[in-house]
Amino acid sequence: MSGDNRSLSERTATELYNMIVLQKKFSAGEKLPNETELAASLGVSRTTLREAVHYLIAQGILSVQRGRGTFISEDMSMFHKYDMGALSHARLADMYEIRLMFEPQCMMLACFRATEEELQGIFEQAKLVEELVRADGNWPDEDQRFHEMIAAASHNEFIIRMFPIINAAVNEAMEMTDNIEDLKNIVIYDNRDMVSFLRLRDGAGAKSAMSIHIRHVINTLGLSTGEL
């Protein structure tokens, strides 16, 4: 499978995961819609949908019942325990602490493992984010996409699967904060630093830049507790 196809199937898996876990568009035990219908609604080919479904089967979100089809698992993964719709301040702090634990390492892996095409996509995405920040556009979604692309470039499946949870926490934090202008500046300048180290494939520098970025966000959101 080519890098582009893998990336598309992973994005499709994330979108389907969000529909099931976060948006709760399907109930436990419910059968997935017809493959052709679902692929059309997601805007992907049936082949890409099948690859995405395989990701979610491996994760325990979906299960196959021979002769009947693919169903939402009755007993899904541990991530279902997190109802991200109403996170408390303390739980947001916990989630950002998790980000601080694994995203810097993820950044370092991306330096070593990303293809040239993946890196170029990340650089272009960073440019798009900055343009949207300056134009007061919908930059938060595109900045999340920037981080998702870094995660995908790490080629670590568990990290990739964590991102629906991370994104839900980020969305909640954005709704709670009054420091949007401060966050805009952080995003512009911290993203520039991260991209600079990625261009050099400097793993240690990139890891440090991501750690600094997350700490900046934690402090701006007022989530600092304990060792954070």
In DSSP notation, 83-135 reads: -GGG--HHHHHHHHHHHHHHHHHHHHHHHHH--HHHHHHHHHHHHHHHHHHHT
Cα(163)–Cα(160) distance, integer angstroms:
6
Does residue 84 register a pLDDT over 80? Answer: no
> 75 and 88, same structural domain?
no
In a domain, 216, yes or no: yes
Of the candidates 84, 187, 195, which has an alpha carbon nearest to the alpha carbon of residue 132?
A: 187
Pick the last residue of a domain from 79, 111, 131.
79
Does residue 70 register a pLDDT over 80? Answer: yes
CA distances from 37 to 32, 40, 49, 194 (A): 10, 5, 11, 40
In a domain, 227, yes or no: no
Pick the last residue of a domain from 44, 79, 114.
79
> 40 and 69, same structural domain?
yes
> 148 and 109, same structural domain?
yes
Cα(225)–Cα(124) distance, integer angstroms:
34
pLDDT of 109-158, one tens digit each? 999 999 999 999 999 999 999 999 999 998 988 998 899 899 999 998 77
In a domain, 226, yes or no: no
Pick the last residue of a domain from 61, 79, 97.
79
> 140 and 66, same structural domain?
no
pTM (2 d.p.) = 0.64
In a domain, 68, yes or no: yes
The pLDDT of residue 87: 42
Q: Decide: helix, strand or coil at residue 64.
A: strand
In a domain, 228, yes or no: no
Domain count, the chain: 2
The dihedral sign for the CA sequence 23, 71, 32, 162: positive
Q: Which domain holds residue 22?
A: 3-79
The pLDDT of residue 129: 96
**148 backbone φψ class: left, alpha, beta (φ>0; ψ -120 to 50):** alpha
The pLDDT of residue 163: 77
Does residue 85 register a pLDDT over 60? Answer: no
Confidence label for 201 from pLDDT (cuts 50, 70 and 90): very high
CATH number of the structural domain spanning residue 154: 1.20.120.530
pLDDT of 11-63, one tens digit each? 788 788 878 876 778 888 899 998 899 999 899 999 999 988 887 887 678 88
pLDDT, the chain, mean: 83
Query: Distance from CA of residue 153 to its chain's centroid?
Result: 12
> 155 and 177, same structural domain?
yes
90 contacts: CB under 8 Å, gap ≥ 6: 225
> 65 and 163, same structural domain?
no
The pLDDT of residue 77: 45
Helices 139-154, 3-17: crossing angle, 10 deg rounding: 120
> 139 and 68, same structural domain?
no
Q: State mean pLDDT over 71-97.
A: 61
The pLDDT of residue 86: 40
The pLDDT of residue 82: 43
The pLDDT of residue 75: 64
